[in-house]
Amino acid sequence: MTKETEERLARSWEIFRKFLITKDLRVTGQRRSIFKAIFALPDHFTAEDLLERARKIDETVSRATIYRSLPLLNESGIVREVDVGHDSKFYAVNRRSENFKAQVICVDCDKIFEVDAPFMEWYGKTVSENLALDVKSQRLQVHAECPGKREEKTCPKGN
């Protein structure tokens, strides 16, 4: 683990810890283990992925605690939900100062790629102004197929 990664992790943990304290919640071992596990996972993961990884760190972590923790991690901004509609929800680490991201979901290999969609900020404003609504969140998803790649099961960004 690089020094930068370590520092980022420490900063994130500090954020989550304070979030818990502010909400009068306890800083437990399981919450800490789940937090750590997130940063050892690939970009997008499910509750089940997280359970599996967290148990490698602390075998007492249960599925229930994973499901009880994910809303907290989301609320605190550590992760963000990426709901692609089918099956279970995905989660991703929420990197600070990120532009708005759209998800490109490959119908061949089911992988999720995140691409910048800066115009969504403008779109949010447009909705706010025209409909007099207070925009809370937006999502933009594109389901696409890699032409000619279906047979080989290879994807543009390399599997």
Partner DNA sequence: GTGCTTGCAAAGACTTTGCAAACTT
Partner DNA sequence: AAGTTTGCAAAGTCTTTGCAAGCAC
- Is residue 94 a contact point for a second copy (CB under 8 A)? no
> In this chain, which of 44, 93, 124, 154 binds a second copy, going by CB under 8 A?
124
Q: How far is CA 48 from CA 30, 62, 83, 84, 86, in A?
A: 15, 10, 15, 16, 15
- Is residue 112 a contact point for a second copy (CB under 8 A)? no
Which among DNA, a second copy, none contacts residue 95 (Cβ within 5 to 8 A by kind)? none
| Shortest distance, position 147 Cβ to a second copy, whole Å | 5
| Shortest distance, position 108 Cβ to a second copy, whole Å | 10
Asked if 91 and 70 touch (Cβ cutoff 8 Å), the reply is yes
> In this chain, which of 13, 55, 127, 154 binds a second copy, going by CB under 8 A?
127
Judged by CB under 8 A, which stretch of 16-24, 60-68, 91-99, 104-112 contacts a second copy?
104-112
User: Could you please report the per-residue DSSP string of 17-81?
Assistant: HHHHHHTT----HHHHHHHHHHTTS-SEE-HHHHHHHHHHH-TT--HHHHHHHHHHHHHTTSEEE
Asked if 43 and 86 touch (Cβ cutoff 8 Å), the reply is no
- Is residue 145 a contact point for a second copy (CB under 8 A)? yes
Token representation of residue 23: 């909400």
Judged by CB under 8 A, which stretch of 26-34, 38-46, 57-65, 124-132 contacts a second copy?
124-132
